[in-house]
Amino acid sequence: MSIPQLNNPKKLSYNELRTQVIELARRMNILTEMRAVPVDYTAAAKFTFSDSGATLDVPRLDELIEQLEEAQEALEECQELLAECDAEQVACEVELVACAETITALEGDIADLCSERPPAGSWSANQLVYTTITSGSCSGYSHYGQQFNTASLATNITFLGNAYGNGYALINTSSTLTALYRIHTFTGDTFPPDPLQLQSDGSSSCMGLFGGIQIKKYDPLLGTYGSSQPGISAGATGIGTYGVFVLTNYNRYPLGGVNPYQIASVTKETADDVFQYNSLAADPCAED
């Protein structure tokens, strides 16, 4: 309860003067004993003057200052982080430019490589096929050795049947630039011919039955490949998809334990003798 205003008359009797002076002294004693009290920093500063005492409420600053200093430290940390982020952003941008240049170079390389591939696709690259490495005859018996090579489909390959009965496949190999593989219509103890012994028409001089590739037409109704056939017919008769298989010998199965094993498929879509070589591997040159 606050102390009321003190009347201040100009003329006082002795008793009135006595009362006035005593009250003044009492109030002065209260004021002299005034206490300054710290209060929460969210409270307002306040002066209270009552019969019980005088107090001055002073908002305490220590907690506020502590929060202020913490905020200041946080601000400085944020500024440091911001500086680091700025520096990192610059580095990332430089790296991004370098990556973009690398990507551009790689895209150029891919475009170059794709431009050099067979025009309508590719045989699975580096498939294992085998060929004879020696051949000859002794006392009327043929003898030969054989080895495996890697091979890819040549761009000028043809599977068409021809005047010699069976088709031929021209294959790039690791051992010789090209090798002519005769298409066979049966399985058995057969060999691919030695390219060096091939005659100018592609037939083998002394091992005419030898061959290394089978062509089988795909039956979309059955979902399987049919019997091996002597090449792909010209014109509309040959329209369809064909599996290309490599024959191995002596039960040596380079891939998957299957003889013959498939290395590619070929599609002839129209009566024109144009073949789409469907690679068994993913085609990196395919359009998205």
Partner 1 sequence: MQPINIPEHPSYQQLQELQYEVTKRMNVYLLMTVQKTHHTGAPVFTFAGTNAKLSLPTYVASN
What is the rounded CA–CA span in Å between residue 181 and residue 202? 9
Question: In this complex, which beta carbon is closest to partner 1, that of residue 24 or of residue 206?
Answer: 24
Among 18, 79, 88, 120, binds partner 1 (CB under 8 A): 18
Residue 31 as a binder of partner 1 (CB under 8 A): the answer is yes
What's the min distance (Å) between Cβ of 14 and partner 1? 7
Residue closest to 253 by CA, chosen among 85, 153, 132, 130? 130
Give the C-alpha separation, 36 to 47, whole Å.
9
Cα 192 to its chain centre, rounded Å, is: 41
Would you count residue 68 as binding partner 1 (CB under 8 A)? Answer: yes
* Stretch of 61-69, 109-117, 161-169, 268-276 lying at the interface with partner 1 (CB under 8 A): 61-69
Work out how close the CB of 50 gets to partner 1 at its nearest, in angstroms, rounded to a whole number: 16
According to the binding rule CB under 8 A, does residue 22 interact with partner 1?
A: yes
Question: Does residue number 110 form part of the binding site for partner 1 (CB under 8 A)?
Answer: no
Cβ proximity to partner 1, 45 vs 221, nearer residue: 45
Q: Which is nearer to partner 1, 65 or 85 (CB)?
A: 65
Residue 102 found at the interface with partner 1 (CB under 8 A): no
Candidates 16, 35, 67, 94: give the one binding partner 1 (CB under 8 A): 35
Q: Which of 17, 43, 74, 114 binds partner 1 (CB under 8 A)?
A: 17
Q: Is 37 in the site for partner 1 (CB under 8 A)?
A: yes
CB of 19 or CB of 104, closer to partner 1: 19
Nearer to partner 1 among residue 22 and residue 87 (C-beta) = 22
Tell whether residue 10 is a contact of partner 1 (CB under 8 A): no
CB-based contact 198:185 (threshold 8 Å): no
Q: Which is nearer to partner 1, 23 or 84 (CB)?
A: 23
214, 203 in Cβ contact below 8 A?
A: no
Q: Is the peptide bond before 38 cis (omega within 30 degrees of 0)?
A: no
**16, 26, 150, 285: residue in contact with partner 1 (rule CB under 8 A):** 26
Least distance from partner 1 to the Cβ atom of residue 2, Å: 18
Contact between 90 and partner 1 per CB under 8 A: no
Q: What residues make contact with partner 1 under the rule CB under 8 A?
A: 14, 17-18, 21-22, 24-26, 28-29, 31-38, 56, 58, 60-62, 65, 68
